[in-house]
Structure 1
Amino acid sequence: MGQCYGKNISVAEEDSPTRDRRQTPPASGNGAVNPNVPSVKNTPAHSAANSTWPSPYPHGSSPLPSPLPAGVSPSPARSTPRRFFRRPFPPPSPAKHIKASIAKRLGPPKPKEGPIPEDGAEGERPLDKSFGYGKNFAAKYELGKEVGRGHFGHTCSAKARKGELKGQLVAVKIISKAKMTTAISIEDVRREVKILKALSGHKNLVKFYDACEDADNVYIVMELCEGGELLDRILSRGGRYTEEDAKAIVMQILSVVAFCHLQGVVHRDLKPENFLFTTRDEDAPMKLIDFGLSDFIRPDERLNDIVGSAYYVAPEVLHRSYSMEADIWSIGVITYILLCGSRPFWARTESGIFRAVLRADPNFDDAPWPAVSPEAKDFVKRFLNKDYRKRMTAAQALTHPWLRDDSRPVPLDIIIYKLVKSYLRATPFKRAALKALSKALTEDELLYLRIQFKLLEPNREGRISLENFRMMDQLSYRKMDFEEFCAAAVSPYQLEALERWEQIASTAFEHFELEGNRVISIEELAREMNLGPTAHSILRDWIRDSDGKLSFLGYTKFLHGVTIRSSNTRHQ
């Protein structure tokens, strides 16, 4: 019921594991949700699947291997459990790449024997596993039963013995120090606690209460959510939500993710298993959990470590250069599943899934998509755009026609800082081009910009100061009215994803011809775009022979600029 099947690209033979057909049941051949499976217990950690057939996606936070070059093997990353499939399927063949990937965070297995160090030889420096957390966990909390187990630890319920939480049930994530065999694994734990502390206050974010440690473990004490995972509710509905029910879920996801992004945190593992309901009530609110793979990130920064869950990982993550837009892709996958009951990208192996993510397009033709509203389909398509620059942000998505509700507040969008900063650094010619573009927008398309402008608290004269941007103090002398703000905060890439882009571009070029277009030489245009002499032959086609001004093609190309990989990509 309500199942649809995504277009799947063929998977090379080397990606398929060798199997004995007498012992291994065949795969279902599609990514449909299976409603006839038992629920798992809710917990900030993840329950281990009980199956005689091992899952190819074990639980536990681990980096995913790159799908390129060909021949790469699957990773130990957590992903949607195998119960998502109708029938079990064989796991990918093990390979050295898996061990190398695990070793990076967990460390290689200790050898049974080793050489005896010579006298005076300097041994390896021991890892510092002291976190500075409270040492009185046993005095403050009474541990209950285990409610979940992941790759890095397990989660138990507990009752607070004293303090403000006295008598209250909580969830305790217990991480073994013995498993922290690398500096990266230790830093992962420190960062998770730091992020949980920094992100307090949002109604859809799991509450952080305390962090403790002893000689053996680190204890992260959080809110106990007893309503189960979003994944379980999807399964209980036969794999499909109505549009109205899907909206209620997606709005909560967008609200908390926009909050995280505004605080400079990218989650990197958004999936139905990481959203828990507070109670079993049908209308209970959801909480985002598990920040074990999350990281702090600056607006202009790019990350390069491949982490996440296979079905929800964004193309740019696999290309090792990504930012907050990777979370948006994951929300798009979740929304697709909510609306049709199947995954947009599916294959029998992780490397096959990665190829589908990089090359295949989601299927919007088969049932139930013909019955889904055009607004909902447009919403999903604008999230699952393989060009991350063309995706909506979480804050923008809350003003999309599918979700629009004038009574619901929209948060400040972190992308505004990035766009305004770029505008202030642009040349007068580029600013004129952007101003013309902003004049081509309809009132409906300006709604998001009006909300963002108002959030920046304009003064009595209707202008905002860059004092509103804490990170732009050195530019605080500059004032902007709404017209200039629109020019600064408009994104040509996002507009290009709209169906009416050609009309927008044509109208914008008319404004540019009247107010901003001027005679420009190839050399000056190259300097405007920070290009060398080798690009002159290309730029020649962008300038009209008749008057030496930018043509329509030149105007649209000039708006986009030239994509150059960021030099501040973080290496780990």
Structure 2
Amino acid sequence: MGLCHGKQIQSPEIGEENGKENHIVPDIEEPPPRSGIAKLPKFPFYSPSPLPGSYKSSPANSSLNSSPLRFFKRPFPPPSPAKHIKALLARRHGPVKPNEVSIPEGCEVELGLDKSFGFSKQFFSKYELGEEVGRGHFGYTCSAKAKKGELKGEEVAIKVIPKAKMTTAIAIEDVRREVRILSSLAGHKNLVQFYDAYEDEDNVYIVMELCKGGELLDRILARGGKYSEEDAKAVMVQILNVVSFCHLQGVVHRDLKPENFLFTSKDDKSTLKAIDFGLSDFVKPDERLNDIVGSAYYVAPEVLHRCYGTEADMWSIGVIAYILLCGSRPFWARTESGIFRAVLKVEPSFDEAPWPSLSAEAKDFVKRLLNKDYRKRMTASQALSHPWICGTQEVKIPLDIIVFKLIRAYISSSSLRKSALRALAKTLTVTQLSYLREQFGLLGPNKSGYISLQNLKTALLKNSTEAMKDSRVLDFVSLVSSLQYRKLDFEEFAAAAISVYQMEALDSWDQHAHRAYELFDKDGNRPIMIEELASELGLSPSVPVHVVLKDWIRHSDGKLSFLGFVKLLHGISTRAIPKA
């Protein structure tokens, strides 16, 4: 179950420069509040784990420029529960102690709550509970054997969620959402199989596939904390496959970590399965979530800023990849505040062993996931097409929802910006174009090599599940496909589906930008008046355009300058424009 309700807020349009006025930037080290003044929690975070842990000692003064390596001998312990975390849990779930299964005190908060889920009440007539095999945020998991039905004689896993812990309406909704997500996403080979949900007066019982191979964390520890590059790739492909599937459906997991991936058997080549969707939520492509949930070592910076989407999962995958390859965490500290500060401010170290001996592609893969600017991070589909992943194996690239967002932004752009993006597309490498060709092919171009906006909806419907309805992804794509626009060939599609922010994260960005400007200057650049540029960008006449756009135009010939070209690639940001 989630720790905070996933309230959604509207995100800025693609192509705008995101401002920070709506972000709550955590101030990690503040002086203690004066006596008698209540202080709101800055980090409502909890990462429960029943496992013990120990670490090597660390230097007293660690640099904020890079995160020192912290090798582990035992499973990672969570940060110690702080008072503000307990206060948050009390507000969300009532006075419940994490990992405690007894009935909490203060049952008066339960008055008026409807704890009926409409699930079958025949659990004990169908299943015989076995021993406990795991414990999560507000429930525990047991093995069980089916006594009758289609699964008769088979072992299954039962997640037991005590109703006594559901002391708020939000906690009840968390359980409903978890069951909804598990049932609607059922069928993916790298997602734990959901069978059914039951309830009685005391508990909710979620029946799932029993994975006997143990956690990914256990495998990491068994290998002494490090995977070879080839073995790490095999793990990452499975993680990226299931996460790309979830993101296309509009589901963000929000708690990706080695403990939440299980192997189906003890075999080295066993299938890896994602589990524990208790913190997951639905999110539309043009919306952001603002509640802070997850596990501290894996939390993305934008989650701490309370404005995030599916990109937060990609950061967590980057942390997992870092751990797989070098056996240490990229962000480490002794306290919760220190962990959060490291996530927000520290750059992970790629200088200490074994990084110098690893391939350049492996380092680039991890760096492009651990970019603190979520707009510059790879998506799961893009990560599957990264040279480190697909360079030595054939990987199926799934449909990527970011393409739909970028196409919508492109269609609503000015003709001048479209021309600039077409120039940038001409600088793409064969590797970069291969991902776009895969996406274009998935949209079903006709024999003449064109797609219409209706192709977007048709392609998405082929991949849709019930989760896509709950997340309203279909509503978003239906809106895009209803726009009036000519058909796109691959050349224009490539221009439309470019993420300028992601390209800025590349070491080769300067070369791309200058080469694109040369092409634009040769073919599309012409003398342009500030008023004409303002009209192209859709600026209001009341806006002081001379102040905003004076640096965009070259004084020598009145053509768009390189600075103006790069800004144009992003699109105008009204947040940066002074008010009249």
* TM-score after normalising by structure 1: 0.82
Deviation at 1:309, TM superposition (A): 0.5
The residue that corresponds to 1:178 in the other structure is 164
Give the equivalent residue in structure 2 for 1:416.
Answer: 403
Residues 532-571 of structure 1, C-alpha deviation per residue, up to 9 Å, x if partnerless?
7367434211210112221111111221235679xxxxxx
| C-alpha distance 322-564 of structure 1, shift in aligned 2 (>3 A) | farther
Q: Deviations over 1:412-452 (max 9, x none)?
A: 11101111111111111111111111111122220100010
Per the alignment, residue 102 of structure 1 pairs with 89
1:103 is displaced (CA, Å) by 2.2
Which residue in the other structure is 1:50 paired with? none
Q: Paired residue for 1:158, among 133, 140, 144?
A: 144
Equivalent residue for 1:259, pick from 245, 259, 264: 245
Distance 1:306 1:381, change over 3 A: same
415, 421, 432: which one aligns with 1:428: 415
Equivalent residue in structure 1 for 2:394, among 407, 413, 424: 407
Distance 1:385 1:366, change over 3 A: same
In structure 1, what is the equivalent of residue 354 of structure 2? 368
| Inter-partner Cα distance in structure 2 for 1:96 and 1:84 | 23
SS in 1 for 2:188: coil
- 1:78 is aligned, of 31, 41, 47, to 47
Instruction: Tell me how far apart the structure 1 counterparts of residues 310 and 572 of structure 2 sit (CA, whole Å).
Output: 21
What's the counterpart of residue 114 of structure 2? 128
2:325 maps to 1:345: no
Q: Which residue of 2 aligns with 1:388?
A: 374
1:94/1:370 Cα in 2 relative to 1: closer, same or farther (>3 Å)?
closer
Structure-2 change in CA distance of 1:205 and 1:66 (3 Å): farther
Compared with structure 1, are the counterparts of its residues 316 and 516 closer, same or farther at alpha carbon in structure 2 (3 Å cutoff)?
same
Aligned to 1:118: none
> Distance between the aligned counterparts of 1:263 and 1:92, measured in 2?
32
* C-alpha distance in structure 2 between counterparts of 1:272 and 1:290, whole Å: 12
What is the CA-CA distance between 1:138 and the residue it aligns to?
1.1
1:203 aligned onto 2:194: no
SS at match of 2:206: strand
Q: Distance in 1 between matches of 2:214 and 2:149?
A: 27
Cα deviation, 1:450-508, whole Å, max 9, x if unaligned, reads 01001111111111121122223413764111011001101111111111111111111
Letter in 2 for 1:344: P
Kept in 2, the 8 Å contact 1:449–1:489? The answer is yes
CA distance in 2, matches of 1:396, 1:388: 14
State how far apart, in whole Å, the 1-side matches of 2:124 and 2:106 are: 34
The range that moved more, 241-250 or 459-468, is: 459-468
Encode CA deviations 1:41-88: one digit per residue, 9 max, x unaligned.
xxxxxxxxxxxxxxxxxxx85359984364457655126755263479
In the alignment, the residues of structure 1 paired with residue 396 and residue 79 of structure 2 have an alpha-carbon distance, to the nearest angstrom, of 46
Give the drift of 1:523: 4.2
Quick one: which amino acid aligns to residue 357 of structure 2? Answer: A
Among residues 265, 270, 279, which one is paired with 1:293 in the alignment? 279
Which residue number in structure 2 is paired with residue 68 of structure 1?
Answer: 27
Letter in structure 2 aligned against 1:247: K
Q: Give the Cα–Cα distance (whole angstroms) in 2 for the partners of residues 367 and 232 of structure 1.
A: 22
Question: Partner of 1:302: helix, strand, or coil?
Answer: strand
Q: 1:500 — aligned with what?
A: 508
Query: Structure 2 CA distance, aligned partners of 1:429 and 1:516?
Result: 8
**380 and 84 in structure 1: CA distance in 2 versus 1, 3 angstrom threshold:** farther
Which residue number in structure 1 is paired with residue 473 of structure 2? none
The letter of the residue matching 2:552 is W
Aligned-pair RMSD on alpha carbons?
2.6
SS in 1 for 2:115: coil
User: Match for residue 540 of structure 1?
Assistant: 550
Could you tell me which residue of structure 2 aligns to residue 510 of structure 1?
A: 518
2: distance between equivalents of 1:85 and 1:191?
36
Q: Secondary structure at the match of 2:387?
A: coil
AA partner of residue 533 (structure 1): V
Q: Which amino acid aligns with 1:560?
A: H
Query: Which structure 2 residues correspond to residues 431-446 of structure 1 after superposition, within 5 A?
Result: 431-446=418-433
- Separation in 2, partners of 1:138, 1:408: 43
Alignment partners' CA distance in 1, 2:424 and 2:574: 23
Q: Is the 8 A contact 2:28 2:337 kept in 1?
A: no
2-side partners of 1:491 and 1:423: how far apart? 10
Pick closer, same or farther for the CA change 1:209–1:476 going to 2, 3 Å. farther
Matched, 1:354 2:340: yes
User: Is the CA contact (8 Å cut-off) linking 1:131 and 1:213 kept in structure 2?
Assistant: yes
The alpha-carbon distance between structure 1 residues 248 and 563, as it changes in their structure 2 partners (threshold 3 A), is farther
Distance 1:361 1:124, change over 3 A: closer
How far apart are residue 519 of structure 1 and its match?
Answer: 3.2
Q: Which runs of 5+ in 2 are unaligned?
A: 6-23, 31-40, 58-73, 97-103, 458-476, 576-580
Paired residues of 1:76 and 1:102 also in contact (CA < 8 A): no
Match of residue 445 from structure 2:
458
Q: Normalized against structure 2, the TM-score is what? A: 0.81
Distance in structure 1 (CA, Å) of the matches to 2:353 and 2:574: 40
Distance 2:214 2:335 in 1: 28
- CA drift of 1:113 comes to 11
Structure 1 residues 261 and 93, CA gap change in structure 2 (3 angstroms): closer
Quote the Cα distance in structure 1 between the aligned partners of 2:539 and 2:314: 30
1:522 counterpart (519, 530, 535): 530
Q: Relative to 1, partners in 2 of residues 1:539 and 1:79: Cα closer, same or farther, differing over 3 Å?
A: farther
Q: Is the 8 A contact 1:529 1:561 kept in 2?
A: no
- Quote how far apart the aligned CAs of 1:383 are: 0.5
CA deviations 1:365-410 (Å, max 9, x no partner) are 1111110100000010000011111111110111111011563211
1:530–1:326 CA distance, 2 compared to 1 (3 A): farther
Do the aligned residues in 2 keep the contact of 1:420 with 1:488 (CA within 8 Å)? yes
Identity among equivalent positions (%) equals 64
Q: Tell me, in whole angstroms, the C-alpha distance in 2 between the residues paired with 1:234 and 1:149.
A: 20
What is aligned with 1:149?
135
Distance in 2 of aligned mates of 1:98 and 1:316: 19
CA separation of 1:74 and 1:304: change in aligned 2, threshold 3 A: closer
Kept in 2, the 8 Å contact 1:73–1:95? The answer is no
Secondary structure at the residue paired with 2:292? coil
